[in-house]
Amino acid sequence: MSIIVGYAITFAAGVAYVLRLGRREGALPPSDPSSPPSGGTQEGVNGDTEQGTPESRASDARKP
Amino acid sequence: MQRTLGALALATIAIGTIIGLFIVPADGLQGEIQRLLYVHVPTAWVGMLAFFFVFIMSTLYLVQRRLDWDLMAASAVEIGVVAIALTIILGSIWGQGTWGVWWEWDPRLTTTALLLIVYVGYLVVRSMTEDPDQRARWCAVIGVIGFVQVPIVYLSVFWWRSLHQPPSSPRSMATVFGFTLLFNFAAYTIGFAYLMMRRYRLAKRELSLELAGPDAEP
């Protein structure tokens, strides 16, 4: 009985975590390729693209 | 790629569970409860792997100041916390069946609980800091310093007199048990890779929205 409980807790936690990720993904607006990078490639966030890096965008956001 | 990895994780974890529950014989000494080992040890492994990943990513962030490293570290912390919490719960169920108690202030159990507290603290600090750079910097420091706890947990059974058995590995047991454990190690590692991929993508999208300002929020 303890074994079944142990396995059940593990799988329930795994499924709950995956569902939670899905809910958080679903709550975000769909990513638009023409907007600043979201969910794109790593280069899209880090690279010297037209959209800029998160660091540069973070400093831009802090500008008055 | 993400879906393939998810399907592979699901399939290997299902096969590993069937082998662990129904095919491998019960341990002669511990009996049926030993089957919990095939989830307890892999979840502990995933937790340690996640926190090692956090250490590497946090170090990279402190050197290069790229927010990508911070997002990867944060994603790994979340998965590691779930894995270590499961390790403690499964260990507690195993302890009740073999030691007769749910919890003992044993060096391995205590240091593992402290490990969990350190990384829950990481998540709390993260949720309390709004500035992305400051958040990344503080979390990277915790990610580097907090990793000290990982070797302490591993070595605790050697350093102090512990009720907990020495680390279980495929080398420390009969071939049939060792193979099952190794298979589950691989299955849960694939599961970790899948969750990392999803969590990191989500973190990137959330950061992009955060940097774009409140107008972009849903």
Phi, psi for B75 (deg, rounded to 5): -65, -45
Res. A51: pLDDT tops 60: no
Query: Residue B114 CB: number of other CB atoms within 10 A?
Result: 13
Q: Which residues of A touch B (CB under 8 A)?
A: 2-3, 5-7, 9-10, 13-14, 17-18, 21, 24-25, 27-29, 31, 35-40, 42, 45-46, 53-55, 57-58, 61-62
Handedness of CA B28, B173, A14, B132 (dihedral sign): positive
Which residues of B touch chain A, with CB atoms under 8 Å apart? Answer: 17, 21, 32-33, 35-36, 39-40, 43, 65-68, 79, 82, 85-86, 89-90, 93-94, 96-97, 131-133, 191, 195, 198-199, 201-202, 204-209, 211-213, 216, 218
**Structure confidence at residue A63 (pLDDT):** 44
pLDDT given for residue B210 in this prediction? 87
**Residue in B55, B126, B127, B118 with CA at minimum distance from that of residue B84:** B118
Q: Do A54 and B67 touch (CB under 8 A)?
A: yes
Per-residue pLDDT of B95-149, as tens digits, reads 998 989 999 999 999 999 999 999 999 999 999 988 999 999 999 999 999 999 9
pLDDT band at B1; cut points 50, 70, 90: confident
Which tokens hold the place of A61? 């956001």
Give the pLDDT confidence score for residue A32 in this predicted structure. 58
Percent of the residues in chain B that have a pLDDT greater than 70, as a whole number: 97
Which residues partner with B31 through β-bridges?
B27
Neighbours of B215 (CB within 10 A): 6
B41-97, pLDDT tens digit by residue? Answer: 999 999 999 999 999 999 999 999 999 999 999 999 999 999 999 999 999 999 998
- Are B93 and A7 in contact by the 8 Å Cβ rule? The answer is no
Confidence of residue A33 (pLDDT cuts 50, 70, 90): low
Of B93, B205, B213, which has the smallest distance from its Cβ to A38's Cβ? B205
Cβ distance A18 to B216 less than 8 Å, yes or no, reads no
pLDDT at B171: 73
Cα torsion B203, B204, B209, B213: sign: positive
Residue B212 has pLDDT above 90, yes or no: no
| Residue B100, number of CB atoms within 10 A of its CB | 8
Say whether pLDDT at B165 is over 60.
Answer: yes
Closest CA to B105 of B185, B182, B155, B164: B164
Contact A31 B205 (CB under 8 A): yes
Q: What was the pLDDT predicted at B49?
A: 97
The predicted complex's ipTM stands at 0.88
Q: Which residue(s) pair with B27 in the sheet?
A: B31
